[in-house]
Amino acid sequence: MDVVHVAVAVIDDGDGQILIARRPDHVHQGGLWEFPGGKVEPGEAVFDALKREVWEELAIRVEAAEPLIEIRHDYPDKCVLLDVWCVNRFTGVPSGNEGQPLCWVSKKQLANYAFPEANQPIIEAVVAKISC
Ligand SMILES: Nc1nc2c([nH]c(=O)n2[C@H]2C[C@H](O)[C@@H](COP(=O)(O)OP(=O)(O)OP(=O)(O)O)O2)c(=O)[nH]1
Ligand SMILES: [Mg+2]
């Protein structure tokens, strides 16, 4: 199976709150919460994909980000490579541009939301990190 390369953004508000979004019911891993992001296009740099996806989904401009962790995960129907970045600086106010519910949550609260299976190590990395 082809591996789908995905740029994923962990966005924090500088005050310990992290932005999560709910995936639509009808898509892959639908109904679960996620960190915003999406597929890297052929020939596109991952950071450019991150900025593009965050703009498309949330209408905010990423100004600075750093790599956090890369996760390769095989779902029964899809293989993904999640390229996860911490967004350190952005401009604008996030809005669910695609109608997706958004929520700002503390690191501790992340455990109360259902995420796709691949996200477990991401959540551990976020919790372990001092900022983001
Ligand atoms: N964005 C995101 N995707 C995740 C996470 N965890 C996880 O397993 N995935 C998977 C679900 C999908 O198979 C894939 C991301 O695809 P996507 O549906 O967000 O891609 P996209 O925004 O480009 O959407 P589309 O244009 O294809 O509709 O990665 C996560 O935390 N965030
Ligand atoms: Mg997406």
Predicted TM-score (pTM) above 0.90: yes
Ligand 1 pocket, residue 52 CB under 6 Å: no
The SS3 call for residue 59 is coil
Residue closest via CA to ligand 1's atom 21 equals: 38
Cβ 132 vs Cβ 10: under 8 Å: yes
- The string of pLDDT tens digits covering residues 109-125 is 999 999 999 999 999 99
Residues whose CB is under 5 A from ligand 2 (ion)?
Answer: 38
ipTM of the complex, rounded to two decimals:
0.95
Average pLDDT over residues 25-46: 97
What is the CATH architecture assignment of 3-128?
Alpha-Beta Complex (3.90)
Give the Cβ contact number of residue 76 at 10 Å.
Answer: 6
Which residues, 6 or more positions from 85, have their beta carbon under 8 angstroms from its beta carbon? Answer: 7, 8, 9, 10, 46, 47, 50, 65, 66, 67, 68
Helix (H) or strand (E) holding 37: strand 37-39
- 12 vs 16, 103, 120, CA distance in Å? 6, 11, 18
Known binding residues are 23, 28, 34-37, 57, 119
